[in-house]
Structure 1
């Protein structure tokens, strides 16, 4: 099976179990180049498991998953090909604490992609300017705020020049006042045409940026619709209850 040319991510009937727990149930989705998809739903609904399967961090047992033209088939070759084309941003940053901000960005480019160091450094400076962190270039992660660390993590993922960016709850570990600085960077990426799949509870971001909002519960897709339709006219009782809880909380 090969992905259609206009799809950067395609899932067909994906199932995953953790022992007896059925974590993903017949998930089928497609993300076209340049599209932004937001995955939302209650805790434990399978959102993070799904995005980790897309990047090969979790194995799935049934179905087909094609990322940037490569079918994830359990081989190291397919895994390496996917990770070269799909950038991943985690909830807890996953930066190397003993390396400076600049070194965190250039390490993979130099040692995994064999990019000349001067070229990697040049690109890193450009990306740090893009995420407004030029003044932090030679600091270590422990000297940065949570919002700054997450922006470094985004810049590091962009060093791969990815076809698709995957975000797994990128603001959930941040203090409220730091959330906006990360969302601002993500919105700028979206405006620039970056293909994105974002697991988030930030529904304002979903309303503003998403082309498609996917609501999950108990490992399955309950509803998938453009943001206006999803938030204003949900068609399922579970989605209506979820949106009602969000509205009550805000």
Structure 2
């Protein structure tokens, strides 16, 4: 077993792992090309990271994080903007997905991102940014995986088993307080484990590696969002020291503070 920092050549295999872990997520339904493009967003700057676990010659788990440093919007919109053209292409090839609940339920999010596309927003200050939003891994909706700032964040896929968590991030008052105490917060945005390899502790291993990388980026404060009904994932996070700080709608925001070594 090996933990590997993802490169462009790894994206197709990580995308297939994501699709196996979350077959019903919108990103999976849009196909492997869209999913790979979405994941490529994590390779575009040094304040994002993506890594995966390989076993038996295949990708069996993956995790991506983001520290917002002046970007005009959070991870969900960031991924949506980055994979915008591939998303349009995927919808043209699968027009029936326009009527999918996760598309219909996110028209406002999609409309906002179309506006961003036409009129790009300006970058925002990095320190003390309380609008940090990390979302679950299905980016066509800012909310879902996004936990997004919206909690709707359901966009995310539900984490299939306790060993394969999924996260998302919400925007709320309690988060504002926590982030005011820590200028930067590392958002756990996407995480998943191949169903055939769940129950082996890989989810916890991914969380530990996420924490190590966040600390290396000088971010002892970490946050994520997960669907309220995803009890197995919430238990996995709690076993690894994460605490529930807010419940809003169908999303749960969790945070963890690690000590610098």
Asked if TM exceeds 0.5, the reply is: no
TM-score, normalization: structure 2? 0.29
Greater RCO, CA 8 A, separation 6+: 1
TM-score, normalization: structure 1? 0.30
Structure with the bigger percentage of strand: 1
Bigger Cα Rg: 1
